Structure 1
């Protein structure tokens, strides 16, 4: 949004005190991490502009409403951190102040953000800046279609909640109020045409009952009352999706298998008594990979020594086990990562070779 002033959220005294106690210690909000041994949490990306992220305090309210309803196996994800709000919550988000959804689509900004966070669900309130800038509904919906396609490339089972955006009536834009009405009228038909059984797109009406005079502080950005309304509208739709779990979960007997990967070995250079090699890991499934492990069995008695872009452990027989680094484990379908190593080898060894095998974590 063009005006990203922080707003003050009415906080419950106990929650505010809890946040004050937890945050200086570096602790997360209750329920922010799954218990040891628990199934992977459902990853939810709040996507949009400053209404979502600057500070987007409806996310704090929604997070706590979900926890209170028993949805403790959730993880809000995004490349942006929390921006306050005074309530303990999982503040990760993808709400970039001032962004136009058409620019995000035209510049292909979303794929990298998806690859870094691997959401299962996207909660999208996006397009306010486009409407403000007189971008046509056709262009905005074309951008929506491209973004949903990129979401499905990241996760074929992606579930999308898309808002009919809140009203807008800034003092500098007399036409904006009607533009929002005109745009929102197009969203349901677009969603129906874009939705699939595997990757549903669900419309959430954020417009009805929202009053710019009482629910915003500037005709655009929600105040405390507006944040409460936005959270209340997202809650039933998101709660219903969370009740379905994670599609493609290999632990669910009703779902197909999870992610898979392959590993390929390549000698980079050789010298007397050793060589340098590279192993490429590729996600060969339709599901996102959240981590990978590769076993490397060098031929001719060679042993892996120095290694980069992964974590190495070596068995007594020379079998090397390499797990991903903390930054290259997440792989979208058909994406790849690589690690390299130096191996020592007997002087009598032949051309460098190794048997490699990959196991993915989904």
Structure 2
């Protein structure tokens, strides 16, 4: 069985009432992978805006009850937070493939582009220490609405994405492939989010598609993505 672990920030954990891109990915893999697989991780909940805590189990009402809700994602968490915990998560959940979407929160509140890129390296090293053959697909940072009015933040996002591409190229190895996904095709923060940052239904599909297309093209895993 192939075990996928979604790793991310608020865009990945999602909030109460949402499907999440994790659900869209699960639907896609169920239709296209052709073998046993699971979504794994040490957490299951959504973020509850009413309590300002990750305490909700209320996914969208039409979510398939068979959906495995496991993940490693947190509202307000980034590479800085996940690097120290990824090793234990990979070991305990026996993860084979990491689907990682991180960096926006780092650049917005904690670290500059260079510091964030160093945390990427620490994350990769810890994941490989736990599983020498782990595969990782990484999504570049999608600029949010803040980048439209904060020029320095926009520059940091651009710089980090450049450093991320270099880091992935430097650290990629056959035994433990490290893959940089392309940014979601035609992603528009005014159409694909509900607040300029967090994905709505179309945004969820676009993020899932970015990971799915990268894995299909680079690793021959699954098939091209369809939102139908």
Q: TM-score, normalised by structure 2?
A: 0.80
Number of equivalenced pairs: 202
Which of the numbers 4, 29, 32 marks the counterpart of 1:69?
32
1:296 maps to: none
How much does 1:99 deviate? 0.9
Once residues 148 and 37 of structure 2 are traced to their aligned partners in structure 1, the CA distance between those partners, rounded to angstroms, is 40
Bigger Rg over Cα: 1
Aligned counterparts of 1:165 and 1:72: Cα–Cα separation in 2: 31
- C-alpha change, 1:207 and 1:230, in structure 2 (3 Å) is closer
Partner of 1:46: 6
Partner of 1:97: 75
- Work out the CA distance in 2 between the residues paired with 1:186 and 1:44: 25
Contact 2:10 2:73 in 1 (8 A): yes
Q: Give yes or no for contact 2:91–2:131 (8 Å, CA) kept in 1.
A: no
Cα shift at 1:146: 0.7
Kindly tell me: are residues 74 and 238 of structure 1, through their superposed partners in 2, closer, same or farther at Cα, counting changes over 3 Å?
A: farther
Report what 1:324 is aligned to. none
TM-score of the superposed pair, with normalisation by structure 1: 0.52
Please list, as runs of the form range in 1=range in 2, the aligned pairs for 1:155-304 lying within 5 A after superposition.
155-170=131-146, 174-175=150-151, 176-206=153-183, 209-239=186-216, 241=219, 243=221
**Secondary structure of the equivalent of 1:124?**
strand
**Aligned-pair CA distance for 1:181:** 2.3
What is the RMSD of the two structures over their aligned residues, measured on CA atoms?
2.3
Question: Aligned with 2:142: secondary structure?
Answer: coil
Q: 1:149 aligns with which of 112, 119, 125?
A: 125
1:329-348 equivalences under 5 Å are none
Query: Are 2:140 and 2:181, in contact at CA under 8 Å, matched by a contact in 1?
Result: yes
Structure 2: 5+ residue stretches without partners: 47-58, 223-228
C-alpha contact (below 8 Å) 1:53/1:95 kept by paired residues: yes
The Cα of 1:184 is off from its aligned counterpart by 1.3
1:278-317: CA deviation from partner (whole Å, max 9, x where unpaired): xxxxxxxxxxxxxxxxxxxxxxxxxxxxxxxxxxxxxxxx
Asked if the contact 2:135/2:178 (under 8 Å) is kept, the reply is: yes
More helix by share: 2
Residues 164 and 207 of structure 1 are in contact (CA less than 8 Å); yes or no, is this contact kept in structure 2?
A: no
Structure with the higher strand share, 1 or 2: 1
